[in-house]
Amino acid sequence: MPISRRTALSLAVALLATTAQAQGWPAKPIRLIVPFPAGGGTDLIARDLANKLSTQGYNFVVENKPGSGGGVGVDAVAKAQPDGYAFVMGQTSNLAINPSLYAKLPYEPTKDLTPIGLVASSPLVIVTGASSPYKTLAEVIQASKAKPASINYASSGNGTVAHLTAESLQKVAGIQLTHIPYKGAAQGATDVISGQVQLYMSSVPTLLGHIKSGKMRPLAVTSPQRVNDLPQVPTVAELGYKNFESVTWFGILGPAKLPADIVAKLNADINKALKDPELRKKLEDQGADVSGGTPQQFGQLIREEMVRWGKLVKESGAKLD
């Protein structure tokens, strides 16, 4: 059906307006929401990226907005105006796990958000305090089998990657641990160092500083291969639990219906920033693997991970209101 002259004119005006918006963007500071408290791996990666992008003409204001496994911060961006001035550093918990974990989630990752670019990924590291009697993961498992539920572990919240990874470990090892969820990474780390909590599981960027300072003892990593920054630390798979793997990832997203030119520009500038040797070294020194790629590739990853983690949520029986 041929379109009318008025409709064609309206479409042309809309296209010009979108292009003009993108060409003049960014004209003011941009909110970059981190859906977790300050000090965790997501926060560190977001701030490092924001600082590098500031050299490319951006002014990002990083805002920590924790709650509901990262869902509060993600939802704030899902409901923001699609004008290019609100983005979120999303990650596995709030994009791939929450949709299966929560009975009612206020956002749908594949419909309410626009993927911009994958930034980095990281395995988890299982640690204990430096004063802990446990020197290896095998000792932890042996003690837990001798006295089920006597050993507790901290995570950055119910339904997070760390929580579900610990559930998977308990299943394959045939043990029972006691879960102590925190509202973020920093407090859990403090309590493990002080000895109030016996084990902690979080991304390598979150805990690497504590490990290098000697305050934490690493027992195992959850990647298929050993981590470059922790070459002496075995993988869980090496310890007899074949094919055990858990990796969390981090990426930038905006609200749905973002102008395509803005998406393309920010994606290109993120990829440019991630090729910068200084930023790459900073992220790698924190134990992160630098990613990059197209918005389409990031969107595909989210869809695939929703299926994979959804299965783990179902198997674990975890549910939150």
pLDDT tens-digit map of 8-20: 455 444 444 444 4
Residue 17 pLDDT? 44
Residue 4 pLDDT? 53
The single-letter code of the amino acid at 86 is A
Residue 240 pLDDT? 92
The model's pTM is: 0.84
Residue 321 pLDDT? 67
- Return the biggest CA–CA distance within the chain: 79
Stretch (H or E) spanning 118: strand 113-129
**114 DSSP assignment:** E
The rounded radius of gyration (Å) of the Cα atoms in the chain is 21
| Cis bond upstream, residue 26 (ω within 30) | yes
**Below-50 pLDDT ranges, the chain:** 1-2, 7-8, 11-20
Residue 41 pLDDT? 87
**318 DSSP assignment:** -
Distance, CA of 225 to CA of 228 (rounded, Å): 9
Distance, CA of 281 to CA of 287 (rounded, Å): 10
